Amino acid sequence: MRFDILTLFTGMFSGPFDESIIKRAKDKQLIDITLHNIRDYATDRHQTADDAPYGGGAGMVMKAEPLAACITAVKELRPDSTVVLTSPQGRPLTHRVASELAKKAGLIIVCGRYEGIDERIRTLYAEDDISLGDFVLSGGEIAAMAIVDATTRLIPGVLGSCESAGADSFGDGLLEYPQYTRPPLFMGIEVPPALLSGNHELIRKWRRKESLRKTRLLRPDLLPEITLTKEDLKMLHEIAREDDRGM
C-alpha cells in the first residue's frame, strides 16, 4: 500500500516511520511512504504556502495554489489513491475507519496547518476527511502518523504470526482483555488463575468475559454496536451480579 503525505514539515516523520512495525512493513515492501513538501510547489521565491484569511481574523490559512499543485502532481503518479484531509472537522478515526482505509490502493494524506486550508481544496480534491477527535493539534502531521500506523497494522502480512490485530482493542468491537506476564506475583497482586491453568477453553472464556467487563466499565457506548452471543449475554449478567456484590 502506498502512503503519500503532503506536509510543510517533512522532518517530523523521520522518527516514527523509522521504528517498529512501520519500519518492518517498509522493509518487507508491504507499504511505501513518500513525503512531499508543499512549499516545493509554491511559485514565488519565498515559497509562500500561507496567507491571511479573507474577512480578517487571527492566524493564517494554507494557500490553495501550492497545495492544489502538489495534490495534482501526486494524484497523477497515484491515480488510484484516495485524497484524505486531516482536520478536526473530519470523521473520527476508529478501528472501522482504519479497516476501510486499509482496503484502499493508497492514501494521499494532506496535513493541514495554521487555521486550516483554503476551503476550495476540500471542495475540489478531498475524498475523505479524518480527525483524531474533538481537540485541536498544531497541525495534521500527528494525525497523518496515526492514520498510517492504524492502517498499516491491518494490512495482511504486516503483523507477525504471534501478533494479531483482531485481538487488539476494537478488533471485535470490544476493549481488549487485561494482559499479564512474568512474574506470577507482583507487589501482592497475582496473575488470574485461569491464565495459568493451561486450559485453552478456560482462558478463552476468561479473556472474553474480561473484555466485556472492561468495555462495560470504560466504554459502555460500544456495547449496543456489537452483536452479542448468548454466551456474551450470560457473561454480562454475571458481571453485573459480581459488580453489585463488589467483586
Catalytic residue among 168, 176, 232, 238: 168
Calpha distance 40→61 (Å, rounded) = 17
Q: To which residue does cell 488463575 refer?
A: 193
Q: Work out the burial of residue 51: count CB atoms within 10 Å of its CB; fewer than 13 is exposed, 13-18 middle, 19 or more buried.
A: middle
Please tell me whether residue 246 adopts helix, strand or coil conformation.
coil
32 catalytic? Reply is no
Catalytic residue among 51, 115, 232, 238: 115
Catalytic residue among 16, 39, 53, 88: 88
Pairing between β-strand 2-7 and β-strand 106-111 as defined by DSSP bridges? parallel
Catalytic residue among 153, 207, 213, 216: 153
Pairing between β-strand 2-7 and β-strand 32-37 as defined by DSSP bridges? parallel
DSSP annotation of 138 reads: S
193 catalytic? Reply is no
168 catalytic? Reply is yes
213 catalytic? Reply is no
**What residues are annotated to the active site?**
88, 115, 153, 168
